[in-house]
Amino acid sequence: MAPLDSKSSGGEPGVWKSGRGRGRRLPKGRVYSDEGLAAVRALLGDRPRRRDLLIEFLHLIQDAYGHLSADHLAALAFEMKLGQAEVYETAT
C-alpha cells in the first residue's frame, strides 16, 4: 500500500495516495478498529503468530465473543500478517 502523505511532502495529512487522483481517507478493503485489534491481541497473548494456529485463534475469538465479527477477522489477519481472504475462508 502507498504510505500516508505528510505535510512535509505537500500532501494533505492522513490521505492515502496512489500517485494519481485525490487519494482516500482509508486503505482499500476492510479496516479493523483499534478496539478490535486490542481485543485480538489480548486473546492471543504471547502465543506465536504461526499460520498453522489460525483455526485455534478463530476458536478463541468464537469462545470469547460468541461470534466472529468482520472487525475481529480483519484484526486477526493484520496481527498474523495473513490475507483477509485466507482468514475469512478458514472461518467459513
Distance (Å, whole) CA 71 – CA 13: 25
Tens digit of each residue's pLDDT (9 = 90 or more) over 44-90: 999 999 999 999 999 999 999 999 999 999 999 999 999 999 999 99
Question: How far is Cα 21 from Cα 18, in angstroms, rounded to an integer?
Answer: 8
Q: What is the pLDDT of residue 7?
A: 46
Q: Residue 16's beta-bridge partner residues?
A: 4, 24
Report CA torsion sign: 52, 69, 40, 34.
Answer: positive
